[in-house]
Chain A
Amino acid sequence: MKQWVKTKEFMVLVIVLTVIAIVSIGNPTAFLTTENIFDIIKSNLVLAIAAMGMLPIMLTGGIDVSVGALMGSASVLSAQFMINVTDNIPLAFVAGAISGIVLGSVNGFFVSKLKMPPIVATLGTMSVYQGMMSYITNGNWISNIPTNFVEFGKGYLFGIIPVQTFFLVAMAVLTWWILKYTFIGRGVFAIGGNTVSAERIGYNVQRIQFLLYAFSGFASGIAAVVRTSIFGQVDPKTFTGFELKVIGAVVVGGASVSGGYGSVMGTLFGVALMGLLENGMILLKIPTFWQKIMIGMIILFAVSIDFVRARRANAKQLKVDVA
């Protein structure tokens, strides 16, 4: 229990609860209603699902700045698939997942096989994916999504939980299980801790890296289709800058930017914090520019905690039994 209190995850949780307290005092009637809460969940599901893909990459010390563009492309491709091939709902998700995996594998190829720095490789593909998206859509909205899919998106589980929640739970459990109980997942932590040592004890670092970028693509692909189901249409412009939110949520959730530390639970708290702040600031009628400044400051704060902690840990190692 005491151990748990010291974790970064716990800190983020405390902040989340504080924010909830402040916002509900500031706006008692609108904030703490079942409706608003599920609204918040629904509007942050997509972010959370994409963050599940980003977390393992950041655990190895890598980064994927193409997620926004990749998700846009996967949205467009899966929408075209629904419109032109079949309106079967499960197949729509398969189409999103496959396009995500293919695009993510391209990232994986550049990073693992060509050994390009992740930020450079994914900046490049980001531009390519954005171009691809504009080429297919001409910058226009896709609004002729099959009606059965749009109806599906409006559905509720047990009459109250938005259907899309299922995908988040599934993705979170899957990511958690991979990270905790598979050797690929442990390899992710090992690489983040010490890449050379990971190689020395027999991890195939290249293969793991490749798989992670493909997995991030998979998560973004699913997130893309989930997003379409929520809005009932695809607006290619809304994906710009989404990567900052995803990376921000993972970092705010306690993952270390240099790799090695972080968890699914923390990332979910991170998403919750980002989502709550956005929602809360809207309810409290704080101007947009202040919202942006706040979000940026929170990310900076989260990253700086890392460095302070590292220093403290060093200082602790000194201990002598004085006569």
Chain B
Amino acid sequence: MEKNTFLHVRHISKTFPSVKALDNIEFVVKAGEVHALIGENGAGKSTLIKILAGVYEPDLGAEIEIEGSRIEKLNPITSVRHGISIIFQDFSLFPNLTVAENIAMGGALESGSAVVKWNQMREVAKKAVSKLGVDISVDVRLGTLSIAKQQLVAIARSLASQAKLIIMDEPTSALSKGEVELLFKIIRGLQADGIAVVFVSHKLEELFEVCETFTVLRDGKYIGTYPAAEMDNTKLISLMVGRNVEFERLSGKNIGETILEVKNLTKAGNFKDISFELHKGEILGITGLVGAGRTEVVQALFGLNKPDSGEIILNGAKVNINSPEEAVKLGLAFVPESRQTEGLVLRQSMRDNIVLPILSTLTKRSGLIDHGALGDEADKWIKEINVVPAVPDMLAGQFSGGNQQRIVIGKWLATHPKLLIIDEPTNGIDVGAKSEIHRLLRSLADQGMGIIMISSELPEVLALSDRILVMRRGRINGEFEGATADSESVMNKAFLADNKVG
């Protein structure tokens, strides 16, 4: 059966003062289809989505047709009225409001009434949450929920609207495997109801699992739209980046003395009996399912999560790390997972963001800040992490999601840590650039840094780690040599209990 066209946009361009983010884009979405919108970091996906949301106004000459009729101008209210609902890359939720209000406010606003009907809003929200099949009370403040739950609330919000098209900008970056499965089930349900879904993700397996159609953008240009049947990994990647990409295995060259030793680290409700060593020049991969306690362990190392018992020995001396400040003083750096929602001052320039943690170290003899040295330092890291566009004065908030992530990484590297902890290093980073980040981490290790990398992406763990720890339910369930590990045995340790722990 031929599906009807729901949305057809043509000649969409968007010029920002510094870049042309979109250049004459065409995009067609059919009713009830699941459509992947893909491209590298900065390709223009989020910008296109914001135009459809009525948040950005496109350049002159844009043509927008919804269900066959021409739309002159979209704003956030009319966009909702035409049946478009968006899950933004940064969630766009309100931490100070209840879950109910977060979910139902958009729809209530659209109805045009001036007075709030609380009971009705709660009902709408409850229905959306139960449709999602998760256990979240609608009466708690959003800010008290974990990032994953907040992501689910963002999804519930779009389910609550009477949308005919739901656009999801990287909806899975904060979700666990089980939650992603749940989302896919819901997407299939929406599809059966004739609701179209546009899905943005850098995780290609996900795209192949649910999407029927692929539209590819590259550098703000429209490359083409293809049915899933004609697509495979290699073809998709070469369309996105214009070349082939494969993770190469990067092993350590000069692994030296022990810099960190962790003994029987335990925290009730978090992790138990965690012991491992990290050497100079080594990349230690920690993997396992989301929620296995990996992040909690490294937070303990960084003074963010005080353990109940156990020892941390740094360069041969026992240390007690009570705060991130102390950790930084000891030469540690921690790049958190949720870089999208923490870690950047969006209204300051990229340069200022990068040098923020090292301001006090780069002072002249007079005690004044040495702006020249700061600028040089920032420029160096901007080049290393390859931010596009490489304009130090651009505000952090004006970079694409993936490029913001790179800025956060750069900011921590600028502290010249001896021990770098990095949580999901390529979260939100496009496939082409993942290997760039890998090479960067490896070269840092080769220069003598010790790196602890948490990652859920097995190919990444296998390509980059010298040693691999697998965590399961708060314990270390397996340890492998990076050179000889294979994906199947690592997966087994992540999923299955093992009596001989070690």
Contact pick for B92, options A186, A192, A194, A321, CB 8 Å: A194
Binds B, one of A73-81, A200-208, A225-233, A271-279: A200-208
B144–chain A nearest beta-carbon distance, Å? 7
Binds B, one of A149-157, A160-168, A176-184: A176-184
User: Which residues of the other chain, A, contact B62 by a CB distance below 8 angstroms?
Assistant: none
Interface residue? A320 (CB, 8 A)? yes
The verdict on A260 contacting B116 (CB below 8 Å), with A199-B76, A200-B76, A317-B146 known, is no
Interface residue? A193 (CB, 8 A)? yes
B323–chain A nearest beta-carbon distance, Å? 10
Contact pick for A194, options B76, B77, B95, B292, CB 8 Å: B95
The verdict on A183 contacting B116 (CB below 8 Å), with A321-B474, A323-B497 known, is yes
Chain B residue, CB-CB nearest to A256: B96
The verdict on A261 contacting B93 (CB below 8 Å), with A202-B80, A317-B146, A322-B293 known, is no
A-side interface mostly: helix
Q: How large is the interface on A (under 10, 10 to 19, 20 to 34, 35 or more residues)?
A: 20 to 34
Q: B92 to A315, Cβ gap below 8 A? A: no
User: What's the Cα separation between A313 and B143 when bound, in Å?
Assistant: 8
Interface residue? A197 (CB, 8 A)? yes
User: What's the Cα separation between A135 and B182 when bound, in Å?
Assistant: 69
Contact pick for B269, options A201, A203, A315, A320, CB 8 Å: A320
Chain B 131-175 residues near chain A, CB threshold 8 A: 143-144, 146-147
Q: How many A-B residue pairs have CB under 8 A?
A: 107
B 27-69 to A, binary, CB cutoff 8 A, 1 in contact else 0: 0000000000000000000000000010100000000000000
Interface residue? B248 (CB, 8 A)? no
B 272-299 to A, binary, CB cutoff 8 A, 1 in contact else 0: 1000000000000000000111011001
User: What's the Cα separation between A316 and B304 when bound, in Å?
Assistant: 11
Q: B96 to A261, Cβ gap below 8 A? A: yes
Interface residue? B475 (CB, 8 A)? yes
User: Which residues of the other chain, B, contact A180 by a CB distance below 8 angstroms?
Assistant: 116
Interface residue? B430 (CB, 8 A)? no
Interface residue? A189 (CB, 8 A)? yes
The verdict on A182 contacting B497 (CB below 8 Å), with A201-B76, A201-B105, A322-B474 known, is no
Interface residue? B460 (CB, 8 A)? no
Interface residue? B229 (CB, 8 A)? no
A275–chain B nearest beta-carbon distance, Å? 28
User: Which residues of the other chain, A, contact B113 by a CB distance below 8 angstroms?
Assistant: 183
User: What's the Cα separation between A181 and B113 when bound, in Å?
Assistant: 11
User: Which residues of the other chain, A, contact B118 by a CB distance below 8 angstroms?
Assistant: 181
Chain B residue, CB-CB nearest to A191: B94
Interface residue? B108 (CB, 8 A)? yes
User: What's the Cα separation between A201 and B93 when bound, in Å?
Assistant: 10
Chain B residue, CB-CB nearest to A196: B92
B277–chain A nearest beta-carbon distance, Å? 22
Interface residue? A190 (CB, 8 A)? yes
User: Which residues of the other chain, B, contact A318 by a CB distance below 8 angstroms?
Assistant: 270, 295-296, 299, 305
B-side interface mostly: loop
The verdict on A183 contacting B291 (CB below 8 Å), with A189-B97, A194-B95, A323-B474 known, is no
User: Which residues of the other chain, B, contact A192 by a CB distance below 8 angstroms?
Assistant: 96
User: What's the Cα separation between A194 and B295 when bound, in Å?
Assistant: 27
User: Which residues of the other chain, A, contact B96 by a CB distance below 8 angstroms?
Assistant: 189, 192-193, 260-261
B 78-118 to A, binary, CB cutoff 8 A, 1 in contact else 0: 00100000101001111111000100011011100111101
User: Which residues of the other chain, A, contact B88 by a CB distance below 8 angstroms?
Assistant: 197, 200
User: Which residues of the other chain, A, contact B291 by a CB distance below 8 angstroms?
Assistant: 320-321
User: What's the Cα separation between A61 and B293 when bound, in Å?
Assistant: 36
Q: A190 to B473, Cβ gap below 8 A? A: no
User: Which residues of the other chain, A, contact B305 by a CB distance below 8 angstroms?
Assistant: 315, 318
Interface residue? B271 (CB, 8 A)? yes
Q: A200 to B92, Cβ gap below 8 A? A: yes
Interface residue? A285 (CB, 8 A)? no
Contact pick for A183, options B76, B80, B95, B109, CB 8 Å: B109
Chain A residue, CB-CB nearest to B266: A322
B291–chain A nearest beta-carbon distance, Å? 6
The verdict on A202 contacting B77 (CB below 8 Å), with A193-B94, A322-B271 known, is yes
Q: B475 to A190, Cβ gap below 8 A? A: no
- State the B residues within 8 Å of A (CB): 53, 55, 75-77, 80, 86, 88, 91-97, 101, 105-106, 108-110, 113-116, 118, 143-144, 146-147, 268-272, 291-293, 295-296, 299, 304-305, 472-475, 497
6 other A-B residue contacts (CB within 8 Å) besides A193-B94, A320-B296: A194-B95, A317-B147, A320-B270, A320-B474, A322-B473, A322-B474
Please name the 7 residue pairs, one residue from A and one from B, whose CB atoms are nearest each other, closest first: A322-B474, A323-B473, A193-B94, A260-B96, A197-B92, A202-B76, A320-B293
- State the A residues within 8 Å of B (CB): 180-186, 189-190, 192-194, 196-203, 260-261, 313, 315-323
- Write 30 A-B pairs (CB below 8 A) sorted by A numbering: A180-B116, A181-B116, A182-B115, A183-B113, A183-B116, A190-B97, A193-B94, A193-B97, A194-B94, A197-B92, A200-B53, A201-B76, A201-B92, A201-B105, A201-B109, A202-B75, A202-B76, A202-B77, A317-B146, A318-B305, A319-B269, A319-B270, A320-B271, A320-B293, A320-B296, A322-B269, A322-B270, A323-B272, A323-B472, A323-B497
